[in-house]
Amino acid sequence: MSNIEKSYIDSLLELLDERKYTAFMHEIDEINPIDAAEFFEFLPKERIPIVFRLLKKDTASEIFAELDSDLQEQIIKAMSDREVSSMLEELYTDDVIDMLEEMPAGVVKRIMKAATPEIREEINRFLAYPEKSAGSVMTSEFIDLHKNMTCDEAVKRIRKIGLDKETVYVAYVTDQARVLEGVVQLKQLLFAEPEYIIGDIMETNLPFAYTHDDRESVANMISHYDIIALPIVDKEKRLVGIVTVDDALDVLETEATEDIEKMAAILPTDKPYLKTGIFETWKKRIPWLLLLMISATFTSAIIQGYEAAIGTYAILTAFFPMLMDTGGNAGGQTSVTIIRGLSLGEIEPRDVLRVLGKEICVGAFCGITLAAATFLKVMALDFRFQQYTIQDNGLVQDNLLIAAIISITVFFAIMIAKTVGTLLPLGAKKIGLDPAVMASPFITTIVDTITLMIYFTIASSFLPF
Amino acid sequence: MSNIEKSYIDSLLELLDERKYTAFMHEIDEINPIDAAEFFEFLPKERIPIVFRLLKKDTASEIFAELDSDLQEQIIKAMSDREVSSMLEELYTDDVIDMLEEMPAGVVKRIMKAATPEIREEINRFLAYPEKSAGSVMTSEFIDLHKNMTCDEAVKRIRKIGLDKETVYVAYVTDQARVLEGVVQLKQLLFAEPEYIIGDIMETNLPFAYTHDDRESVANMISHYDIIALPIVDKEKRLVGIVTVDDALDVLETEATEDIEKMAAILPTDKPYLKTGIFETWKKRIPWLLLLMISATFTSAIIQGYEAAIGTYAILTAFFPMLMDTGGNAGGQTSVTIIRGLSLGEIEPRDVLRVLGKEICVGAFCGITLAAATFLKVMALDFRFQQYTIQDNGLVQDNLLIAAIISITVFFAIMIAKTVGTLLPLGAKKIGLDPAVMASPFITTIVDTITLMIYFTIASSFLPF
């Protein structure tokens, strides 16, 4: 998403070419740091560190936090240790952690060496939180108050320490041991009398999460409670950080993208599509394609087992694709619905019986509808110009019989697809695996195999195999 | 996601049963309105309006906005016109609009009748915005300032009018004609000297959107710029509303869920899974299942056309499921990646050539890898105990020949799947259709058909059909 005009980028480039550096700095200061970061992507790589050095210290760090990691790496490499150290002072912890996670080991080493001991300690603490935990996305730059302060004192404290904080709109009340006691909104302070006591106006019944909680559930809580930030505490309920709503937005977008990719049998990427190389894209897609191809050995084996019968009743194979796709689609509908419900926290593994009951009912209705429709379609379309006479006893009109075999198989294919589509994602979640992997491609393979077995079993009991 | 404890709910119910209404009201006032709304779902339906009437006016409206639409309907029905009118005064416009969109026509009529003329006019204006537009999700409760105010005056104005506003943390500067001129953060006012002039500290280079813009692109902008609210203007650039970050979160979650549902061949629902009835779920799932089943007429027709050949070479049909699934999976990977990229604004329809070029390259690599793997797998696994002798000229070892036919088909299936998977969603977006519909199930049907045609064409040129 590019929100700055091409002509504006050109005018900035022109200022640089004409060495009008003061005018350039003035322009960059005026625009949003996110737009400024986008501008840097239009610069030739070798000019980036030089132009970056022109910027004011705080503008520079704001823009730096928004740059792509390859540009960040380039700038860091061109910086002196002292410059790196002062940049680290300016950045929010969560941005530093984001950056370090993308850098090659050598660059990380240099950054850690350049950091002050306090910052180094903080970085190490944050890096120790598990991947995708609340701790890994929180920031330690929050405002803390004490409950015996007056509102006036609180506002003064916010004015004093607020400039470097990720948000000034919520402040957290902690006791001597840094244990979280309550929350105060800047809005409350704005409307309260100056002499009111924080302890009297703070909310004590506030949502919070632990550092080891999953980042997705933290983001869901922020969304559920419509709050600007969620406090994150350690095991002793000491306040160690906050996750802000803009981070929650990023987490939810990333998690949704990852789920969608996994459901489509792709290994998740964290880069935008157009920035991912061909080889990298191949690497993310080929494993599942290979695995699913090899797992089709089951379906091949079943069909091979009935090779002789197929020689006689070749018409049966004309419905392989329809049966496979219908089972896959029906199973995909169920599994994808459940995977999304699990992500949004609308469904829990303990709902398994309720969900299964519902899916079996829905499956039965879908199965009956589709079996009836299939019967009519096969008779009216597929067998319109053909008359199959398989049994010569004159009792059975074979078109009807084959259409019936196909329809009954459709019904069972859907029932199995709905059951497998329910149990696999819920089971995965239950044993701590990622349910998103249990989406249509995986389920298709299983449902295909069972459907073929049913198809041949029914066919062989009605036709003289 | 239930965040309040069962025991707490029980204690609230007990207070009601013992008619301790003052204690109950005190408790409800203490907890988050979102949790309070959840509590109401545990009440027997007939008690809800009575209990609701106990609440203080502002608590009542805060909780009302968070209730499910069926509970809202029940409460409205039990209210007098005067009560409805006073509730409407308290609610934010976007919550009123959300509510009206879910109510049956009769209830909407009553609400509109009870509303004051000003509110009725505002509701009508908001209802006129197209579905899923910025106008349909914005709220008109924002703070406006003038540029010749001092910071002190601005803070006083925010204190005066801010209590009813959706956010007090951003204020918008407009001229006499209500045209948007700039934005001021409360954070800026907090750190500025009282006598500073708003016109000097406001940011004029601010992101905004038009009422008719798509709500998803508005939410993407809020996420991109990490802002608390985005101003929404009409064609004359007059400020008419704002969309806040919590609304953006809801929009992005809803849009992601809708996309996921459409990709899985489900008509989108707006209710959580466990609250959707069986018949309703059936109605959302059966149309695509039917359509895709009927569209399989193409694959049946192709196979029927080669029925005689299949009688002789039944082994060919053993690879139908593998070929169908591989094509479907490969096409799904591409289409789903592109659909998500379009949603996030990372890909535009004008990128079609870049995307197609990349997909063809990735497809070629995937195709070669998979064709080679298929050849090895067919020889090593599927044909392990079987020797097929189709041509009796002694020149061709037929196992090798059939394995080669299958592998070449796999290669083409992937190339076609990647091409169709690229062109369909981008084409849909280009002509204003929803790209999410062009996901795996739809693409599978097309790719199945083409793959079968290729399979039989290759087979018939190498085997004596």
**pLDDT digits 0-9 by tens, A416-440:** 999 999 999 999 999 988 898 888 7
Position with higher pLDDT, A163 vs A172 = A172
pLDDT at residue A365 is higher than 70 = yes
Per-residue pLDDT at B386: 73
How far is the C-alpha of B355 from the C-alpha of B443, rounded, in Å? Answer: 17
> Under a CB-based contact definition with an 8 Å cutoff, are residues A259 and A343 in contact?
yes
Q: Average of pLDDT values for B377-381? A: 89
Compare CB distances from B329 to A32, A162, A441 and report the shortest one's residue.
A441
Q: pLDDT tens for residues A21-69?
A: 888 988 888 888 888 898 888 888 888 888 888 888 888 888 999 898 8
**Chain A residues close to B191, C-beta within 8 Å:** 159, 162-163
One-letter amino acid identity for A123? I
Is pLDDT above 50 for B1? no
A317 to B317: CB separation less than 8 angstroms, yes or no: yes
- Is B81 a residue whose pLDDT tops 50? yes
B409-424: pLDDT as tens digits: 999 999 999 999 999 9
pLDDT in tens, B188-212: 999 999 999 999 999 998 999 999 9
Q: Which residue has the higher pLDDT, A59 or A173?
A: A173
How buried is residue B353: exposed, middle or buried, by Cβ count under 10 Å (0-12/13-18/19+)? exposed
Report the pLDDT value the prediction gives residue A366, as an integer from 0 to 100: 95
Contact by Cβ (8 Å): B56, B29: yes
Residue B303, amino acid: I
User: What is the spatial distance between Cα B165 and Cα B94, in angstroms, rounded to a whole number?
Assistant: 12
Whether the predicted pLDDT of A392 surpasses 60: no
A380 CB neighbours in chain B (<8 A) are none
CA distance B112 to chain A (A): 28
pLDDT of B369 reads: 95
Q: Is the pLDDT of residue A2 over 60?
A: no
Q: What pLDDT does B247 receive? A: 92
Per residue in B168-179, pLDDT (tens digit) is 999 999 999 999
Q: Which residues of A touch B300 (CB under 8 A)?
A: 318-319, 321-322, 382
Is the distance from CB of A2 to CB of B351 less than 8 angstroms?
Answer: no
Helix (H), strand (E) at residue B243: strand B239-244
Average pLDDT over chain A, rounded to whole? 89
Using one digit for the tens of pLDDT, what is the confidence trace for B36-62?
A: 898 888 888 888 888 888 888 888 888
Shortest CB distance from B249 goes to which of A1, A249, A308? A249
Pick from A282, A357, A258: nearest CA to B260: A258
Classify residue B265 by its DSSP letter.
Answer: T
B129-164 per-position pLDDT tens digit: 998 999 999 998 999 999 999 999 999 999 999 888
pLDDT for the residue B397:
58
pLDDT higher than threshold 60 for residue A395: no
Does the distance separating the beta carbons of A314 and B308 come in below 8 Å? Answer: yes
Whether residue A131 is predicted with pLDDT greater than 50 in this model: the reply is yes
SS3 of A202, please?
Answer: coil
The CA distance from B315 to A306, in Å, is 10
Q: What does the pLDDT look like over B208-242, one tens digit per residue?
A: 999 999 999 999 999 999 999 999 999 999 999 99
In the numeric block, which tokens belong to residue B404? 């080669």
Q: What is the pLDDT of residues A196-209, one digit of tens each?
A: 999 999 999 899 99
* B395 Cβ neighbours under 8 A, 6+ residues apart: none
Q: Is the pLDDT of residue A390 over 70?
A: no
For the segment A165-191, the average pLDDT, to the nearest whole number, is 94
Asked if pLDDT for residue B102 goes beyond 60, the answer is: yes
CB contact under 8 A, A344 and B300: no
Instruction: Among B440, B452, B455, pick the best mutation site for testing chain A contact (most A Cβ within 10 A).
Output: B440
The answer to whether residue A159 scores a pLDDT higher than 80 is yes
> Distance from B106 to chain A by nearest Cα, in Å?
30
pLDDT average, residue stretch A92-113? 88
Query: Hey, what amino acid is at A291?
Result: L
- Confidence category of residue A296, pLDDT binned at 50, 70, 90: confident
Q: What is the DSSP string of B336-400?
A: HHHHHHHHTTS--GGGHHHHHHHHHHHHHHHHHHHHHHHHHHIIIIITTT------TTSS--HHH
pLDDT at B151: 95
pLDDT of amino acid A154: 95
Predicted confidence band of residue A105 (pLDDT cuts 50, 70, 90): confident
Say which residue, A382 or A170, is predicted with more confidence.
A170
**Per-residue pLDDT band at A406 (split at 50, 70, 90):** very high
CA distance B356 to B432: 20
Q: Which residue of A has its CA nearest to B260?
A: A260
User: pLDDT over 90 for what percent of chain A?
Assistant: 47
Distance from CA of A54 to the nearest CA of B (A): 22
State the pairing for strand pair B229-233/B209-210.
Answer: parallel
For A78, A82, A103, A142, B367, the CA distances from A88, given in Å and listed in that order, are 15, 10, 15, 17, 46
d(CA A134, CA A138): 6
Alpha carbons B223 and A107: distance in angstroms, whole number: 29
Give the span between the Cα atoms of A76 and A57, in whole angstroms: 14
Q: At residue B111, does pLDDT exceed 70?
A: yes
Q: Percentage of chain B surpassing pLDDT 90?
A: 48
Least confident of A282-291, A331-340, B382-391: B382-391
Q: Dump pLDDT digits (tens) for A228-282.
A: 999 999 999 999 999 999 999 999 999 999 988 888 888 888 788 888 889 999 9
Rounded Cα distance, B340 and B223, in Å: 16
Instruction: Give the pLDDT score at A3.
Output: 61
Q: Do B285 and A366 touch (CB under 8 A)?
A: yes
pLDDT at residue B129, as a whole number: 92
Residue A122 confidence (pLDDT): 87
Minimal C-alpha gap between B163 and chain A (Å): 8
Q: What is the pLDDT, as a whole number, of residue B389? A: 66
**ipTM of the complex, rounded to two decimals:** 0.81
Q: B213 and B134 in contact (C-beta within 8 Å)?
A: yes
Band (pLDDT 50/70/90 cuts) for residue B429 is very high
Q: Shortest CB distance from B292 goes to which of A325, A381, A441?
A: A325
